Amino acid sequence: MATPEVPKTCKVILADTIAKKLLAEVKDSLAKVQSESAAKPTLAAFLANDDPAAAQYAEWSKKTCEENGFDFDLRKVNKENLEEAIVAANQDDGVDGIIVYYPIWAGNQQQDRYIQETVALSKDVEGLCHTHLFNMYHNVRFLDPPANLKKSILPCTPLAIVKALEHLQIYNPILAYGNRLFGKTITVINRSEVNGRPLAALLANDGATVYSVDISGVQLFTRGSGIRQPRHQVLDKKDWGLKDVLPLSDVVIGGVPTDGFKVATDLIRDGAVCVNFSSYRNFDGPAVKEKASIYVPSIGKVTIAVLLRNLVRLIANRQVRQ
């Protein structure tokens, strides 16, 4: 008996497609902030670990920078010299933005956190300085209220996922800016301080009902019934797990960086949107394509485009008259 032909219903969207659109926008905004005679903007990138993934990411970043009118200055330094090297870059007018590849002190997250705070706010292209993080968690979009001319910087990977969801039209532009996820239910698997928790907060601040899942359990991020709060609130969902939240979710975002972890496809809702931001793919690709309406297998190239977008924002912020 012939197997009946199964129509392909899942749309696979590659990071490249989303990144290209963002890079075109970056090009336009760069032209606006850059006078003709000015030198190319320079991103100083500090590599102080031996992680081959970091080296690979730096390589991609360099290529994207050079293709889009930016200078990428990779600085390999010892852990011990990193702090002084960052301070020097903070003071160097030839450096427009600073990126540091983490983790540096494996097993000592506090020391990595110290380094993040060492980067000058005006050069924090990754949005990891406390002021940027505080603004993000409090849904504050500018650094200089009430003038509101200098935009606060959002962390690259969470913002890359927001940009991906905008591209996928999960953000509904018919709704008011800031409420465009109202009515959407989203599961984020990963609650790290650099990725999962900021992402859950960003999505909830835009109106979504967000289930944030990690090994310690499930937290619900919302802006309250009818999104009546100015910023998100968090509620522990005791005894809840993926089996409870996946069937409710319009969008499932996987970001657990281990190859042993896979999202159970049978729990995903028919027609859901699935996005992977882990270096390991947290979805079973062939199976998820039989169930999802949209699948984004990776996000890395979007993250690099967002990095350049943030860099242009830093330059624009510096041009605001005090």
Residues that bind a second copy (CB under 8 A): 6-9, 11, 13, 167-169, 172-176, 179, 182-184, 207, 209, 225-228, 230, 250, 269-273, 290-291, 293-294
Task: Provide the 8-state DSSP code for 142.
Answer: B
Minimum distance, C-beta of residue 100 to a second copy, in the bound complex (Å): 35
Q: Which is nearer to a second copy, 182 or 261 (CB)?
A: 182
Q: Left, alpha or beta for 126 (phi > 0: left; psi -120 to 50: alpha)?
A: alpha
Minimum distance, C-beta of residue 214 to a second copy, in the bound complex (Å): 25
Minimum distance, C-beta of residue 113 to a second copy, in the bound complex (Å): 34
- Sheet strands (E) in 269-312: 273-276, 294-296
Instruction: Give whole-number Cα distances, 283 to 130, 221, 258, 279, in Å.
Output: 33, 23, 12, 12
Tell me which residues are annotated as active site: 156
Burial class (CB in 10 A: 0-12, 13-18, 19+), 2: exposed
Please give the Cα distance from 68 to 23 (Å, whole number): 8
Please give the Cα distance from 146 to 64 (Å, whole number): 35
Q: Which is nearer to a second copy, 11 or 63 (CB)?
A: 11
Q: Which is nearer to a second copy, 1 or 6 (CB)?
A: 6
Q: Which is nearer to a second copy, 30 or 302 (CB)?
A: 302
Burial class (CB in 10 A: 0-12, 13-18, 19+), 257: middle
Q: Which is nearer to a second copy, 132 or 289 (CB)?
A: 289
| Residue 195 identity | N
Please give the Cα distance from 10 to 72 (Å, whole number): 37
Largest CA distance in the chain: 76
110 C-beta neighbours (distance < 10 Å), count = 7
Minimum distance, C-beta of residue 172 to a second copy, in the bound complex (Å): 5
Minimum distance, C-beta of residue 263 to a second copy, in the bound complex (Å): 16
Minimum distance, C-beta of residue 77 to a second copy, in the bound complex (Å): 43
Please give the Cα distance from 34 to 41 (Å, whole number): 9
Q: Which is nearer to a second copy, 228 or 243 (CB)?
A: 228
Minimum distance, C-beta of residue 18 to a second copy, in the bound complex (Å): 11
Q: Which is nearer to a second copy, 8 or 243 (CB)?
A: 8
Concatenate the DSSP letters of all residues of 101-128 into one string.
-S-SSTT-HHHHHHHHHHS-GGGBTTS-
Q: Are 190 and 278 in contact (CB under 8 A)?
A: yes
CA 246, 249, 254, 255 torsion: positive or negative? negative
